[in-house]
Amino acid sequence: MAGRREERVFADLRVAFAGGEGVARNVSASGIYFVTASAFEKDQPVELYLEFPDFPGGALEVTCYGRVVRVAQEGTAKGVGAAIARFVFRRLPATGRKDD
């Protein structure tokens, strides 16, 4: 799409956040689009957690800090686009997911 700053990668990743979770549909170095049942508003700050359990070298969690740039109705769910300002990477224990 013209005007995009970064290449987007289509995904089907679990995304977690305070109060809920969703499914990331695409991700780039500057943004993410995910679908959720939770309510979001434009310009709302967000802190999102993505897990990559099969990442080479061991499971990885990426925390994304940003703000919501758009919200769209997708059937009974909401599609949320967020601009990402900062990432934090963390290796997960060998036992698996953070909430195990």
Expressed as residue numbers, the domain containing 47 is: 9-91
Q: Provide the number of structural domains found in the chain.
A: 1
- Domain contains 2: no
Average pLDDT over residues 4-13: 75
Distance between CA atoms of residues 49 and 24, nearest Å: 10
| pTM to 2 decimal places | 0.82
Residue 97 lies in a domain: no
CB 22 within 8 A of CB 15: yes
Average pLDDT, the chain: 88
**Contact, 63 vs 51, CB < 8 A?**
no
Q: What percent of the chain has pLDDT over 70?
A: 88
Does residue 30 lie within any of the structural domains? yes
The whole-angstrom separation of Cα 68 and Cα 77 is 16
The CATH number linked to 27 is: 2.40.10.220
pLDDT tens-place string over residues 46-71 = 999 998 888 888 888 999 999 999 99
